[in-house]
A and B are shown apart, each in its own frame.
Chain A
Amino acid sequence: MADVLVTTDWVAQHAKDANVRIVEVDVDTTAYDQGHVPGAAGWNWTTELCDTLVRDIIPLKKLEELLGKSGVDNTTTIVLYGDNNNWFAAWAFWQLKMYGHKDVRIMDGGRKKWLAESRELSTDKPTFLAKTYKASAPDVSLRAFLPDVQQASAQKKAALVDVRSPAEFTGEILAPPGLPETCQRGGHIPGAKSIPWGKNCNDDGTFKSVDELKKLYADQGVNGDGPVIAYCRIGERSSLTWFVLKHLLGFQNVKNYDGSWTEWGNLVGAPVEKP
């Protein structure tokens, strides 16, 4: 297993190690409040991992404060897990890598696997001895902005991987069923390939083997030879695919387009392909 993934067994054994911080990352921390891995911190994606004024990643100072109050310093091993099959944990991983944290890992299978295995849960909200964290300036080579994507689409400079469901890709629906519609147009970015995020995972939420993942992407012509940009609707599912491509398959040039379809699908004059 790659050193960026740990099993639920590993977490059960190491959750209380002095230099390990387990963090549950949810889009809605109700799940954390119900019960979480004992000793785990809880981070709310909406309010703590995004800038709440401007649509952007969390600013550097805010990240330093969040990590510091979570008892994390630059040498801490951070292990992330969460709901929705680790989508938001993957976002946190991507963001922590942008800010230069060295040892960050994901618990394979996420919250769902921990629950299904009937492992210990706690409702206690731990307090941590605050530490000082010094983040690096964000490494924007891991992030695609709109002009990068426009250029990639128009000039075929990078493989665009749309990780949404096939129905979102074709424009049959504008958002995952049951969730609010957040775009004006359906379809996909011209030239994008549809490789839904779920194809990365087994039924229990764990990642497929490296060989299976390599084949999944190679079959679509994505083999790591050139730059890759992953996108979805708001950038969290594509964080998971970014994690797979960059850290499980070792592709060198992979960016997450966190603007994703909520940017492109609302942009006046943007070309859209469907189905």
Chain B
Amino acid sequence: MRAEGYTKRRQPLGDWEIEIETYQLGDVFYCTINNVDPGARFARAEGSTREEAESKALEKAERYLKQTRRFTTS
């Protein structure tokens, strides 16, 4: 078995930049979402299609990112 159709792309989600990695293993598509900075994976999902896996992972990512607070630094 090999990862097929591996793709990686960056896009904004809310106020944050994320990186979306998607690939297929056997009949299952896997999607993981990392924050671009510092690069930690914080959401993942699987599905029977690429779109389903990404949609589920993005939904989780959006929910988690809403809990990240920004503080003033001055």
Contact = CB atoms under 8 A, between A and B. Distances in A.
Interface string B1-32: 11110101000000010000101010000100
B38 A176 contact: yes
A166 B36 CA distance: 12
Given A122-B1, A166-B37, A35 B68 contact: no
B56 interface: no
Interface stretch (A93-101, A113-121, A141-149, A255-263): A113-121
Contacts of A171: 71, 73
Contact of A178 (B8, B21, B61, B73): B61
A237 interface: yes
A120 B74 contact: no
Interface string A247-275: 00000000000000000000000000011
A174 interface: yes
Interface string B39-60: 1111110000000000000000
Contacts of B73: 170-172, 186, 274-275
A181 to B, nearest CB: 7
Contact of B6 (A118, A168, A237): A118
Given A118-B6, A196-B37, A177 B71 contact: no
Given A121-B1, A176-B42, A116 B6 contact: yes
A120 B34 CA distance: 24
B68 A173 contact: yes
A175 B40 CA distance: 10
B1 A179 contact: no
From B16, B42, B65, name the one whose CB has the most chain A CB atoms within 10 angstroms.
Answer: B42
A145 B35 CA distance: 29
Interface residues of A, number: 40
A57 B28 CA distance: 36
A112 interface: yes
A197 B2 contact: no
A179 B42 contact: yes
Contacts of B3: 35, 115-116, 118-119, 121
B70 A173 contact: yes
Contacts of A120: 1-2
B3 to A, nearest CB: 4
A112 B2 contact: no
Contact of A118 (B4, B30, B44, B72): B4
Contacts of B25: 34-35, 121
A164 interface: yes
B44 A30 contact: yes
A83 B34 CA distance: 11
Contacts of A85: 39
Given A179-B68, A197-B38, 5 more contacts: A84-B34, A112-B21, A118-B3, A172-B70, A179-B64
Interface of A: 30, 34-35, 83-85, 87, 112, 115-116, 118-123, 164-168, 170-181, 186, 196-198, 237, 274-275
Interface of B: 1-4, 6, 8, 16, 21, 23, 25, 30, 33-35, 37-44, 61, 64-65, 67-74
